Amino acid sequence: MYDIAHYEEAHSVQEAVQLLQAHPRARLIAGGSDLLIKIHEGKMPDAELISIHGIPELKGIHRDEQGTISIGSGTTFSEITRHALIGEHVPVLGEAVDKVGGPQIRNIGTIGGNICNGVTSADSASTLFALNARLRIQGAGGMREVAIGDFYLGPGRVDLRHDEVLTAILLTRENYEGFGGHYIKFAMRNAMDIATLGCAVLCRLKDKRTVEDFRLALGVAAPTPMRCLKTEDLVKGKAFSAELLQEAGRTAVTEVNPRTSWRASREYRLQLVEELSKRAFQQAFVNAGGEMV
């Protein structure tokens, strides 16, 4: 049973903002793959919902003259995975969101909802962290942009005011062009499961061996998605080798703070951080055009 006390449907972002102002208890709903579960479980009694599912300006993927890729917050995971611009320029993001749930969830779930939930296990989050994504937000006070790293405030908490709507995710050319990437989701099942640990690596090479730029982002390794900046500094400018791979994995472990949960112990997650960081680094190096010796 769904305990829904009030429901409105917005036809534009501006209307959604106005409805949020008029209903202080209301929550936005797009695909509803997470929110409806909470309502069904009785965690949101007398829920008030404002649907943004049908707003055209929140959908689609575009690339402007400067090379910035804009992903509408209402774009579904399946649409992202299949889109030509993502396949050509940011295939690692398409691969990451293709690991969300099962086909039914990916067909209705939106990338905006995945981000605004604020959970560290979101499959899109660590890859967007590695891509230095920026978020465009519209509210009663106008439009603002925020770096995704500043958007996550804590477990389940994000920098989104009640009368604001996340409208787009922005990926600038300098943060994806020339990079090879790889995302690994470790979960107890191959599908329909939440990540025990998520690991995204982006790698850009100066030649076939030297790592010019390197990003390592993790999910479920801390209360929020995170970048391993110390590990990144260690790797940048060095020639790829088995020794560097091992050192990167060991260093990543020193930067994280995973917790014990019913899914996995802290110790197990630390082991995953080391191993998955190495595996994702190696595959990202290959995807960037690197040559293994």
Same structural domain, 183 and 76: no
| Rounded CA separation 281/38 (Å) | 36
Residue 129 to residues 2, 25, 120, 123, 135, Cα–Cα distance (Å): 34, 30, 11, 11, 11
- Given this model, what pLDDT does residue 206 score? 93
pLDDT digits (tens, 9 = 90+) for 142-185: 999 999 999 999 999 999 999 999 999 999 999 999 999 999 99
Same structural domain, 90 and 142: yes
Total domains present in the chain: 3
- Given this model, what pLDDT does residue 292 score? 80
pLDDT digits (tens, 9 = 90+) for 4-44: 889 999 999 999 999 999 999 999 999 888 888 788 888 88
> What's the token pair of residue 114?
């995945």
Same structural domain, 170 and 187: no
Same structural domain, 92 and 122: yes
Q: Does the residue 148 lie in any domain?
A: yes
Same structural domain, 153 and 75: yes
- Given this model, what pLDDT does residue 63 score? 98
Same structural domain, 123 and 205: no
Q: Does the residue 53 lie in any domain?
A: no
Residues 6+ apart with CB under 8 A from 151: 115, 135, 158, 159, 160
CATH number of the CATH domain containing 90: 3.30.465.10
Same structural domain, 230 and 253: yes
* Mean pLDDT score of the chain: 94
Confidence of residue 1 (pLDDT cuts 50, 70, 90): low
Same structural domain, 229 and 246: yes
Q: Does the residue 195 lie in any domain?
A: yes
CATH number of the CATH domain containing 270: 3.30.390.50
- Given this model, what pLDDT does residue 60 score? 97
Which range marks the domain in which residue 209 is found? Answer: 177-287
Same structural domain, 161 and 195: no
Q: Does the residue 246 lie in any domain?
A: yes
- Whether the pLDDT of residue 230 is over 70: the answer is yes
- Whether the pLDDT of residue 242 is over 70: the answer is yes
Q: Does the residue 68 lie in any domain?
A: yes
- Whether the pLDDT of residue 293 is over 80: the answer is no
Answer with the one of 116, 145, 174 that is the final residue of a domain: 174
Q: What is the mean pLDDT of residues 105-114?
A: 93
